[in-house]
Structure 1
Amino acid sequence: MTLDEAKAALQRGRHLVLVLPPDVEQATVVWELVSAPAVIVCGDHGSAAEWAAAAPAGVRVHAVTGLSRATRILKEGAVPLLAGAVQDLAALLTRSALKLGALSTVVVAWPEALVSGEHAAALDALLAEAHEARRIVLSWNPAALGDFLERHARRALIVGATPVDGSGGSLGPVGPARYAVVPQFRRHAAGRAVLEALDAQRPFIWDGGLLDATSVTPPPDAVLCTRLPSREQFTVLARLGEPVLLVTAAQLPYLRSVAGPLVAVPLPSPADRARDRIEALGAEIERLVADGAVDAELALLSPLFERFDPAEVAAALFAISRQPTAVSQPAVSPTATWTRVFVNVGKKDRIAAKDLVGALIREVGLEKNHMGRIDVRDTFTLVEVAPAVAEKVVRGLTGVTIRGRRAQARLDRQV
């Protein structure tokens, strides 16, 4: 069925069920079908924020992350589209801030877990209040929603390939895969950690979009999926190699229906990284001692060795090396010369300085004393950083998604 046919069915009052993997980035067709005023019913706060971030230019979506602010915005009539978790929308309804009877469209985003969870009754109550609104139900397994669809989207038109075989039974997994459970905002950083763990030299990284396995040469030694593929997309990816998928905990039931057996990829924890640093430091100390490259230092420290145990002296030196004193590497001063980095996101992308600070800390691993002024303009942002880390910032920010926009960074050439 074409998009125009789906639109026509919706305009005639027919409800729709769109068969899609539970990933907001895979549901771009919704923006072509939804008409304001509308509500997107989500499973949690994180999903609501993803819908707001993924909205195309010119479409304003407010994610309900605080009831007081959402109440004020709704009373002002400032937002035509609202995305929120079931419990938050129910609370707004109780406050008489949300008028479901006036809605044109209700989008129910992947209710497979909702219909059997603790908020099932609240979801039923919400949809009963919005009985005049057209329904767009996003589902990865419509067969599991039989009773729900009968109550709230009766005789809905199903658009997309349902995961059933010719006899009506559920399709089994396509093939094996590995996975890591990571929150959405850490997906790019986790992707780099996975590639390091796999020691991949020729990785194929799929971030959504069209796939053609025959055009990928030479054959990759790792297949990393930073977006959640459909069953058909997973089939193509599996031809390249065993896929590694980065998913949220809520996406795991869908992944189990598409791939199997599943093996978790262990990602390094902060404790693991700390142990690695300690081991590297120990190896460096061992090398220096073995090479006899510390004679001058031994001469300098010999008076202390006469008064204290050498192990205590070594421990004290190690403690001093970790303190921000005049002995250690000086921090960047406020008056230092900065290098400016150009980033292709700005106010029109709903970007604020705090978004860039968060990306620099989480995705790049930058310390705050290496950051200067962040100048957010209409279509781009200029970020001042310490010269020593400028190239690291350019590499680390490029490809990171900030409020739904893929960032590209480069050194600013403006004098």
Structure 2
Amino acid sequence: MPSFQDLHLKPPFAAALERLGWNPEDAAARESAPTAARGHNLVASTPPVPAYAAPALAGLLSRLSDGGRALLLAPPGQLDEWGGLAHALVQDTGIRVQVAHGTARAMRRLKANAVDLVIAAPETALTLLTRSALSMDALTALFLAWPESWGEEDSITALMQDLPKETQRVIYTSAPDRVEALVERYARKALTSGAAALEGAATGPVRTVGVSWARRVSALAELVELLDPASLVIWTADTSHHPAIAQAVALAEPELSLVTGDAPKAETIVAFDLPTAARLQQLAQSGEVVLLVPPGTESYTARIATPRRPLALPGIADTVSAAAAAQRGAIVRALEAGTPDRALLILAPLFERHDPVAVAAALFDLWTSSGPAEPVARVPDIPATAKLFVGVGKKDGATANDFVAVLTKDLRVDRGKIGRIELREAYSLIEIPAQDAEKVALALNGVTIRRRKVTARVDRGPTRSPRREGSPAGRR
């Protein structure tokens, strides 16, 4: 049986490929790994998923371990996927990888000669080139990942014009016809592989889920929860994401399985990585297929799968609704636990001055707020209320409107400061903030209400004098 070392891969890279589930008898590995390891140009046609490029990247890195520098250009959304694959391949090799989401760190490391493989979008690489941090004529190899999706021909031209003829070119594409001009110009006489794997009739119906590259694992867990199939197979191109998938999905359950080759029969087959046309046909024969479709792969998906039935995962509205339901449940449990006497004592003055619904909403905002506290101007504490005793009541024909009119129009008391008005037979009680009570009582004395001059004072409650057993309580 052949080994990866027979394919000119050095032992650390051969071991890394085996950890990722690759076999030296795989056609893709047999064709791409030795070609890249020998420094030859390569044009490979595969689905637009970084996992398929593992053998070629391992060959390129195996060669790079003898010295030199390589540049891998990929769509911006795939940079972390490529970074994860590269780091999995260079374990224990000493090769230094830099995923350049921006230019600052990559520029510093390039100028310090502290990086061997730079992974970047074409625009970022062009910026590094114009700032003299990246030198194209010093590259040992250049890897172009699905250039048909870049839409930046000017960037490619600027980067390629200073590339030495002896620099190795590796191009991965999911649409060979769209990169013919690029290959003819920059990678002539390159070995081509994999084109036949992309050929074949479209398969359908197939369900699709649009999801970002970074959210595929979490989306898979949401999908399993949403569909809840009686049996499920999750198919991947290699095993690089198996630990994360196993953690997100309960694979210990007998009805769930995770495979890389032929899928066994199941109610639902989820393709975590986009398959080739031939592989999709096999998956569809085993069960209902759901494809995860990251950005930039839509055109490829349309070629291999038709008709397609989009499946929507729970969105932000569903997440917010579920969170709101959980919060309402917490409030109900608190209410059922008993009357919160202390809270009611604190909030009672607020309920008198404001709509209780508005008070509850404000308290909820305070409860759920998770942001850092910001310095604000100090708000004076809301004082407790006091009651004014006014010597006019129901028998005099007085109404609450009479008191409000006198207080607001004659005494210029703010309407918001007037609380509950209790009409008794011979007198009335009016709630006023304690800090204003003495002043308002003084102003109210001698005012005429219903043809009676009233007397007013701050009500102190019933007065009690020392008494003996059976003596009557004191009166007001």
Which stretch has the larger CA shift, 119-128 or 231-240? 231-240
5+ residue gaps, structure 1: 166-170, 326-415
Superposition pairs of residues 366-377 of structure 1, within 5 angstroms: none
Q: Is the 8 A contact 1:40 1:82 kept in 2?
A: yes
For residue 76 of structure 1, what is the aligned residue in structure 2? Answer: 112
Deviation at 1:16, TM superposition (A): 0.9
1:226 aligns with 2:269: no
Deviation at 1:201, TM superposition (A): 3.9
Superposition pairs of residues 133-212 of structure 1, within 5 angstroms: 133-162=167-196, 171-209=200-238, 210-212=260-262
How many residues are aligned here? 308
Q: Is the 8 A contact 2:47 2:198 kept in 1?
A: no
1:127 aligns with 2:171: no
Q: Is the 8 A contact 1:45 1:85 kept in 2?
A: yes
TM-score, length of structure 2 as denominator length: 0.56
Relative distance call for 1:4 and 1:230 in structure 2 (3 A) is closer
For residue 107 of structure 1, what is the aligned residue in structure 2? Answer: 143
For residue 46 of structure 1, what is the aligned residue in structure 2? Answer: 77
List per-residue Cα deviations over 1:72-119 (Å, max 9, x = no partner).
Answer: 2112211111111111111111122212112221111011123xx2x1
Counterpart code for 2:308: L
For residue 99 of structure 2, what is the aligned residue in structure 1? Answer: 63
Provide the secondary structure at the position in 1 that maps to 2:270.
strand
Deviation at 1:44, TM superposition (A): 3.3
List per-residue Cα deviations over 1:276-317 (Å, max 9, x = no partner).
Answer: 44457779999x9xxxx9696599999999x969x9656755
Aligned partners of 1:66 and 1:187: how far apart in 2?
23
Counterpart code for 1:18: A
Provide the secondary structure at the position in 1 that maps to 2:319.
helix
Provide the secondary structure at the position in 2 that maps to 1:21.
coil
Relative distance call for 1:60 and 1:51 in structure 2 (3 A) is farther
Larger radius of gyration: 2
Relative distance call for 1:203 and 1:294 in structure 2 (3 A) is same
Deviation at 1:164, TM superposition (A): 6.5
Aligned partners of 1:190 and 1:201: how far apart in 2?
19
For residue 282 of structure 2, what is the aligned residue in structure 1? Answer: 236
Counterpart code for 2:162: E
Q: Is the 8 A contact 2:210 2:294 kept in 1?
A: yes
Counterpart pick for 1:247 among 293, 297, 300: 293
Which stretch has the larger CA shift, 226-235 or 38-47? 38-47
For residue 42 of structure 2, what is the aligned residue in structure 1? Answer: 16
Aligned partners of 2:357 and 2:364: how far apart in 1?
11
List per-residue Cα deviations over 1:25-66 (Å, max 9, x = no partner).
Answer: 232112332133343443433323322222221343211122
Deviation at 1:69, TM superposition (A): 1.9
Aligned partners of 2:134 and 2:71: how far apart in 1?
13
Relative distance call for 1:317 and 1:172 in structure 2 (3 A) is same
Relative distance call for 1:239 and 1:99 in structure 2 (3 A) is same
Deviation at 1:197, TM superposition (A): 2.3
- Where relative contact order (Cα < 8 A, 6+ residues apart) is larger, the structure is 1
Q: Is the 8 A contact 1:64 1:82 kept in 2?
A: yes
Provide the secondary structure at the position in 2 that maps to 1:70.
helix
Q: Is the 8 A contact 2:263 2:286 kept in 1?
A: yes
Superposition pairs of residues 258-273 of structure 1, within 5 angstroms: 258-273=304-319
Counterpart code for 2:59: L
Provide the secondary structure at the position in 1 that maps to 2:161.
helix
TM-score, length of structure 1 as denominator length: 0.63
Deviation at 1:184, TM superposition (A): 2.1
Aligned partners of 1:97 and 1:42: how far apart in 2?
16
List per-residue Cα deviations over 1:117-174 (Å, max 9, x = no partner).
Answer: 2x11210221232133111111112122211111111122111243576xxxxx4422
5+ residue gaps, structure 2: 1-26, 239-259, 369-476
Aligned partners of 1:159 and 1:197: how far apart in 2?
39
Aligned partners of 1:92 and 1:301: how far apart in 2?
61
Q: Is the 8 A contact 2:204 2:305 kept in 1?
A: yes
Provide the secondary structure at the position in 1 that maps to 2:147.
coil
Relative distance call for 1:317 and 1:93 in structure 2 (3 A) is closer
Aligned Cα RMSD in Å?
3.6
Aligned partners of 1:23 and 1:40: how far apart in 2?
18
